[in-house]
């Protein structure tokens, strides 16, 4: 679900999915990353966090 949402967010402004972003600012280079993978990782992290906070385990 996170990846699908990430792709939807990417597709809305440009009509296409941006595969990788390579950002740099003020001489500092950030790692290249994929928006859909960021959404998936965030979703999994939120599920784990919710499971730890509630103590119910992962649904």
pLDDT tens track, the chain, 59 positions: 767 777 787 778 877 777 777 788 888 887 777 777 788 888 889 988 888 887 766 55
Q: Pick the catalytic residue: 10, 14, 22, 37? A: 37
Instruction: Identify the pLDDT of residue 53.
Output: 84
The predicted pLDDT at position 58 comes to: 58
* Whole-angstrom distance, CA of residue 10 vs CA of residue 57: 32
22 labelled catalytic: no
> Is 37 an active-site residue?
yes
**Confidence (pTM):** 0.50
Distances (CA, A) of 5 to 1, 12, 36: 6, 11, 8
Catalytic residue among 10, 14, 19, 22: 19
């Amino acid at each position: 679900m996170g990846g699908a949402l990430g792709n939807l967010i990417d597709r809305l402004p440009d009509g296409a999915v941006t595969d990788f972003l390579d950002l740099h600012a003020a001489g500092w280079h950030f790692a290249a990353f994929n928006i859909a993978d960021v959404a998936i990782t965030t979703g999994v992290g939120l599920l784990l966090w919710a499971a730890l906070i509630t103590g119910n385990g992962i649904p």
